[in-house]
Structure 1
């Protein structure tokens, strides 16, 4: 299938054309937001980290914001730093520039404070916005798409209707030569053996199993029981009683294709080896989506039984529910009602095909409900839980 999108200097294709303002730390976040406010269409990500972090958490924050800058949905970036941040603005900019896109740097301390930094950043962003406005969509193959798979506020209808529909859609994309990412390590516990059997490579299979084991071990090391937070209160109220029950419904999003590999949080998906991947993300929906978008996903499908308004700063999020009552109650937020499988006898293949067509339409420019309402939720996963 052919789509229409924006070709980047490195040959990748975006389905959106954002000017992204990237603060390297929480200390620069407010200034970045003020820069974005001066230029219609510019978007700032609310980075709450990057200052006084250590080791793996510092590296993960930098990898995540660099991944957002590299994402093909971004046409140009302004990187904003305070100056004494743990993550240096010029280092972030240099990594993003490897894509060939325009990247500029503003350092608040060097500019002499907030007002001159905003002025300089807004000048860069306005120039970028004008240049990107002249860029035309061009034809590209659907095999260039990376699709993130997420679920949140799950209930039994997720495993019965919406997640199988997503699995069908994922199979269709992979048949077109594209890629999908299954996420949320805590939500495969109890079903990991079923997913592990689908890995083509033994080393990648073991990497995946280690991810599942490690997430439990980290909780134990902190003296916590992971199952005290999974399922969530909303999951339980909706009818899910155990983490294993939740996981067995969650895994349907992965369809039936074999897994090509397991990715660390915010790790770039290798485009030379397309197909289905698993990414080690937390059960927190927003942090999980952020990791997959940093890994290169241009579009997100989000299954919700209880309902959620979540979006993303740079990737369109398509919302689907298997609960007919939730769709009627939250129709402003949810794009597709897979509850028809339960209430009207619709086939999974029918809803899955509808979802696949919507993915194509959204990639071609159709605005999702989350986009139309301005939902741009963003959060970076912390590995240590401390410092």
Structure 2
């Protein structure tokens, strides 16, 4: 039996464990985004969830947004939420606030049209957010099992070194986390095209294999329905400049992030995993939209490989950057956390770098900041199913 590793986290009343204590400032529409931004900027410990929809969208998109924003408000890294509403948007801000309030953290709803404008809303929001932050100061970190972690796996700005070094090392990291009973989520459906057979062969059950094949078919059908040549757009110009020649080559590198363990489940966009082990989430290949879904699903941390250098982060979850490109690590050193190019230079093995990622992840879970956090990266971009009208 594996030795049970621990990190220092914040146990929550609902049984989950947080790795950060943040107050989420959540606008329920784009017209409330400015006020929400002002509140977050004036409160240390507040995190802006920069949603800009809420009107002029299909019913399916409003429902998805309500669901995912509520999951952000109930996320283990969040100790309180302010929902900022204009007052006349399509998205039901009261319903959103009530969904968040059903979780363990306090929730407040501020309506700009009711309070009398932007300034009054910002002043009230700053007061409430500061109160929540102050109350959280009493919370203490405690030893928590690695099995209480959910980790999102992402890659972006890939080049040839991603498949040679960073992604294989992340695969070792993934296997180490699974051995501890953690939940790992591999994503980016469109970037799996050409390597889906590898995951299908690793499916834990026939039903999981069937669902994996189905989400790939559905993805290809949606892409073909646009009338555009997706296969001609992948790999991207940046991928090609970095030495990736075909979409299949990109996919074969991408799938390495998931390590070697069975795929235990297939998740819809933003769906929280219920089983320990490696799951696959049906997300776009677009990095901000994919990471947004991974965090909505409860990922306390996202580990992100990038060859050419993608500095993005997330509003409420630390994002760890791993690069296999020595030039990127040197040239963008303030944006990177882990140098995996030592695999290519022969200084370390894949297993050694995977172990380093694992150890760094536990330090981040215990409070050490990532490069993206220090630089203030807080990207948020939700998947949209239909047109804006």
Q: TM-score, normalised by structure 2?
A: 0.96
Count of residue correspondences: 385
Secondary structure of the 2:9 match is strand
State whether structure 2 residue 202 is matched by structure 1 residue 194. Answer: no
Match in the other structure for 1:54: 58
Between stretches 25-34 and 201-210, larger displacement belongs to 201-210
State whether structure 2 residue 292 is matched by structure 1 residue 290. Answer: yes
Which string of whole-angstrom CA distances, capped at 9 and with x for unpartnered residues, describes residues 261-303 of structure 1?
Answer: 1111111222xx2111111111111111110000000001110
How far is the alpha carbon of 1:207 from its aligned partner?
2.0
Match in the other structure for 1:217: 221
Match in the other structure for 1:81: 85
Match in the other structure for 2:235: 231
Unaligned runs of 5+ in 2: none
Match in the other structure for 1:333: 335
Counterparts of 1:284 and 1:193, CA distance in 2: 22
How far is the alpha carbon of 1:385 from its aligned partner?
5.2
Counterparts of 2:366 and 2:202, CA distance in 1: 32
Match in the other structure for 1:383: 385
State whether structure 2 residue 146 is matched by structure 1 residue 157. Answer: no
Match in the other structure for 1:281: 283
Counterparts of 2:388 and 2:163, CA distance in 1: 34
Match in the other structure for 2:185: 181
Match in the other structure for 1:33: 37
Cα root mean square deviation, aligned: 1.2
Secondary structure of the 1:58 match is helix
Counterparts of 2:176 and 2:184, CA distance in 1: 10
Counterparts of 1:85 and 1:385, CA distance in 2: 17
Counterparts of 1:119 and 1:230, CA distance in 2: 47
Match in the other structure for 1:351: 353
How far is the alpha carbon of 1:386 from its aligned partner?
5.3
Match in the other structure for 2:68: 64
State whether structure 2 residue 372 is matched by structure 1 residue 364. Answer: no
How far is the alpha carbon of 1:355 from its aligned partner?
0.6
Counterparts of 2:206 and 2:89, CA distance in 1: 40
Match in the other structure for 1:124: 128
How far is the alpha carbon of 1:201 from its aligned partner?
2.6
